[in-house]
Amino acid sequence: MNRRTLLTVATLFAAALGYAPHANDSSPALDGAARLQTLPTPFPITWTTSKMTVSADGNRTYVAKGTDSRGSHSELVFTETSEAFAGSLWTNGRRLTAHGRLGDPVRFQSTAAAFALPCLGGGTVDPNVELLHDRVAGHAGGIAGANDAACIDAETVDVLMVYSGCGLEQYAAAQNPPIPDPMDALPLLKAECANAIDAMNMILDASLVSTPARTRHLRLRSLQALTPDSNCQAPNWDPDPPNPIFGCNQLADPEAGTGSIWCGEETAFSADLAVFSDPSTPFGGLIDQYRTSFAADLVVVLRVASNPPGDASHGMQKSVNSGCNGASGFSVVDITAVDSVIHEWGHNFGCCHEPGAGGVYTCSLFPYSFAHRFFIPDGTTFPPPTRTLMAMQPGTAIPRFSNPEVLFPPGNPNAQPTGTGQTQFPYWSDNARTIRETFDDVRCYRCADLPPPPPPAGPVVCFGSNSHGQSATPGSLLACTDVAAGHLHTVALQQDGMVRAWGAGTTMTNLSPNYGQSMVPLILPDPPYGDGDYLGTCSGVAAGLYHSVAIRMRGPSDPLDGVVVCWGAGRVGQFASPHYNQSAVPGNLGPCVKVAAGHYHTLALGRDAGVSAWGAGATPFGPWPHLGQSAVPDSLGPCLDIAAGGYHSLAIQRGGLTEVGGPVVAWGAGQSNSGSYSEYGQSIVPTLLGNCTAVAAGVFHSVGLKADGTVQAWGAGMTNTNTFPNYGQSIVPGTAGVCTAISAGGSYLGGGSHTLVIKSNESLAAWGAGTVNSGVTPHFGQANPPALPATGWVKVSAGGLHSAAIVEPVPAAPCDGDLNLDRVRNGLDLAVIFSAWGTPSGDCTGDGFTDGADMTLLLSGWGNCP
């Protein structure tokens, strides 16, 4: 690999995004919209949002949205592998693509949209072949969210892509200029395959297939060569076709009578699909071996253009409740039009063309599984008609699956729904719902058993009161993935899984406020207070008034994985204030995925989506503090999120009309708004709230993050009298806009309440008590976040009179002379210069040659990079 080329191009492109690459970088997102203007786009584009992610194999993906000079909405997906790049740009009603080797100029050119190319429609699955896949897969599953416990890669569908030898030769010949050696074209093909995955994921996000509550993405497991069988070896070859592609031969087709076929490829994609998806055929058996080896849910075969030409792709339509057998997880795609697979993946998930195309007025899966064609009144920027990606021509194609709740173009006053919500068949178009409902089927066709990607990590920043050291972040604290602010203490989860705590409770005097809530146990006590095992690594934390909570992480096969652990006030056998059993974890509690802590109670969300509660409030009408906050409603059912307030609890029920989030349910204090005895309406869920994707609970107020990203609050603080408990914490400012995370704080003992949100641009907004730091209760600056570098906030937690947040780390600056990207300039880099002398490979000065000037630059900065 050309190290200097990689460094230079990665640095230049990343600089355009406001990002400086460095070794082992895992920064998840950066807002570099202003610098994106330097990209060579056909029209000037003002980028408003941007994000950069790094995959496990080191690929960098850049996603950005903005407006071009003609007023059209623009979207970019750009992928860099170790050797090449590929990009997709939608702007001004057109789709443009670019690909090349690192170091080549980035030139976006018009192309046929992936979903504008001819498609034969969803193929059917032979019942006998389906039985073969049943025996191979051996997993249970079902439509509408059935969860196979054996599959823990719940957020991703894994994809295997295979290419034929003839296909690679045709791909090489199609490049401009043609590439003589097909193997030299393989890096470009890999980049295009990776970009197709990235573009699909962007479309899933934009279409609300992915939601704040759950990411639903594809992941490329491998790109493999399709080895020919024995019939493809001499002397069975026919002479080259009239226009040979670097000597790629054809094999006689005895059934066709005339003509011939590519080696292992039929004359039509539909015939290929039948062969490749059948594990009893030679090629199908080979693909099945690949599929099993890489635990791939979906398979894409990249082959030469159809002969005779006409169709660009063909995919199996998921048409019945086939569970997890995987028989419908195949597509065949023209190798010179890789991105047409995006349309075929839609078929694999059960999506149909628009009514009247590829299925007349029927769709074999759900009555709403159609694509959508619609008109945007302003025909100057997006000429009508407009169509979602599963619809066929005519019309301008957009990167969206049909969804009645998604408008396009975003921010345009003439924006139109990308789907229809009528229940009268056949006019209901909602492919996004279709994919959400079949995703758990498809992702368990083959269980990869790979853990989901790690959450973003960064330094913890605290602000507000520091009366007991709760805002004094320890200097030895590592980068963290989770943080929770309690009343007078803070708990954080380091990237290595270890729990840290500071503030009140570093001792256990049993006198306020020191109840051991900051004494993180190394070894848990023996039963009934614990299991005597190590606390070890954890996956989540929560902080209450005087107690702390964590979820242990051991691995799916360990019985301790998902076990909830509590420490601080409320241990077993203690019933005098403030001990109400909030730290006494029930013995029958199963593995959990989230915990929340109130003043004197604890909530847990199980892997089975059930909600459990313990501590104060097991009865709704007991003496204070028993206000029903631990009395989980019998009718609650499976849930997506939980939150524990001072004396009330919140949960989001799974499901809803569109399954984006769900309805909010509240119980405990605040069933009325009398203004006395903790009754401030915090448990009166607004009638028109709608589906939410996250909830937060303060001491006497509640906050919901709605499915459209806006925030609504209720309970105390609907006014701002600057007297307890009304500090405006429930008055959501108009500038809050679209948000991605919420948190609500406050303490009855401290007399304050505030609300924090992370906005879609990763900035932090806050309101309620503490917008200033007067030093007089309750205003200690807990709602006045500090100014930080524009790297973005990734986690936030509102405590009693302080707040804690995780900020994205500032990436290291580029380091001239560090040719192997290890952040050290030493003999290894010098060796690169010597081996590349006279070539561009070790060029540090930008003159195109490796010479003495590069050695001088390296020696002048010898040692660790700044």
Q: What is the pLDDT of residue 260?
A: 43
Q: What per-residue confidence (pLDDT) applies to 305?
A: 66
pLDDT digits (tens, 9 = 90+) for 706-747: 988 899 999 999 999 999 999 999 999 999 988 989 999 988
13-22, 329-338, 690-699: segment of lowest average pLDDT: 13-22
Over the stretch 112-166, which tens digit does the pLDDT of each residue have?
544 444 565 556 666 566 555 655 544 433 333 334 444 656 678 999 999 877 7
Residue 134 is predicted with a pLDDT of: 55
Whether the pLDDT of residue 2 is over 50: the answer is no
pLDDT at 720: 96
Q: How far, in Å, CA of 640 to CA of 642, rounded?
A: 7
* Calpha distance 647→207 (Å, rounded): 37
pLDDT digits (tens, 9 = 90+) for 517-556: 999 998 887 777 778 888 999 999 999 999 999 999 987 6
Ranked by mean pLDDT, which of 348-352, 625-629, 636-640 comes out on top? 625-629
Average pLDDT of the residues of the chain: 79
Cα–Cα–Cα angle for 656, 662, 667, nearest 5°?
Answer: 125
More confident residue, 567 or 145: 567
Q: Tens of pLDDT along 467-498?
A: 999 999 999 999 999 999 999 999 999 998 99
Looking at residue 247, its pLDDT comes to 45
Tell me the Cα Rg of the chain: 29
Max mean pLDDT range (327-341, 563-577, 708-722)? 708-722
Confidence of residue 359 (pLDDT cuts 50, 70, 90): very low
pLDDT at 240 over 60: no
Instruction: Summarize the confidence of residues 89-108 as an average pLDDT.
Output: 84
Q: In what order do the strands lie in the sheet with 386-387?
A: 373-374, 386-387, 396-397
Would you state the pLDDT for residue 17?
32
Q: Higher model confidence: residue 455 or residue 789? A: 455
Q: Which amino acid is at 33?
A: A
Which of these, 322, 321, 233, 332, lies nearest to 273 by C-alpha position? 332
Q: What is the mean pLDDT of residues 620-624?
A: 82
CA distance linking residue 503 with residue 778, whole number of Å:
18
Closest CA to 155 of 352, 443, 406: 443
Cα(238)–Cα(568) distance, rounded to whole angstroms? 80
Query: What local confidence, expressed as pLDDT, does residue 493 receive?
Result: 97
pLDDT at 383: 61
User: Vertex 299, ends 295 and 300: CA angle to 5°?
Assistant: 145
Whole-angstrom CA distances from 79 to 14, 172, 224, 727 are 12, 20, 19, 47
Q: How confident is the model at residue 668 (pLDDT cuts 50, 70, 90)?
A: very high
- pLDDT for res 525: 79
Q: Which range (358-367, 691-700, 728-737) has the least confidence? A: 358-367
C-alpha 795/C-alpha 451 separation (Å) is 21
Q: How far is the C-alpha of 505 from the C-alpha of 525, rounded, in Å?
A: 18
Which run of H or E residues covers position 271? helix 269-276
DSSP state of 326: -
pLDDT of residue 796: 96
For position 629, what pLDDT does the model report? Answer: 97
Residue 310 has pLDDT above 90, yes or no: no
Question: What does the alpha-carbon distance between residue 399 and residue 380 come to, in Å, rounded to a whole number?
Answer: 19
Across 333-347, 362-376, 430-444, 764-778, the highest mean pLDDT is recorded for 764-778
Listed range (59-68, 106-115, 783-792, 798-807) with the worst mean pLDDT: 106-115
Arithmetic mean of pLDDT, 745-764: 88
| pLDDT score at 660 | 66
Q: Which of 108-112, 417-421, 734-738 has the lowest mean pLDDT?
A: 108-112
Weakest mean pLDDT among 207-221, 308-322, 604-618, 658-672: 308-322
Report whether pLDDT(399) > 90.
yes
Q: What percentage of the chain carries pLDDT values higher than 90?
A: 35
**Per-residue confidence band for 664, with pLDDT thresholds at 50, 70 and 90:** very high
Sign of CA dihedral 592, 661, 808, 819: positive
26-84 tens-digit pLDDT: 333 333 344 355 567 777 787 777 777 777 677 888 888 888 777 788 899 988 888 89
pTM for this entry: 0.57
**Per-residue confidence band for 410, with pLDDT thresholds at 50, 70 and 90:** confident
Rounded CA gap, 532 and 804, in Å? 31
755 vs 312, more confident: 755
Q: Is the pLDDT of residue 421 over 90?
A: no
Instruction: Dig out the tokens for 557 from the structure.
Output: 């096969």
**Rounded mean pLDDT of 675-691?**
92
Q: Is the pLDDT of residue 228 over 60?
A: no
The confidence score (pLDDT) of residue 120 equals 55
Report the DSSP beta bridge partners of residue 803: 463, 798
| 237: pLDDT strictly greater than 60 | no
26, 369, 534, 592, 743 from 523: Cα distances, Å: 32, 53, 4, 20, 31
Burial 197-236 (b: 16+ CB within 10 A, else e): bbbbbbbbbbbbbbbbbbbbbbbbbbbbebebeeebeeee
Look-up of token digits 């191979």: 136
Mean pLDDT in residue range 824-834: 82
Of residues 178 and 212, more confidence is placed in 178
Q: 329 pLDDT band (50/70/90 cuts)?
A: confident
Listed ranges 37-51, 257-271, 335-349, 682-696; the one with the highest mean pLDDT: 682-696
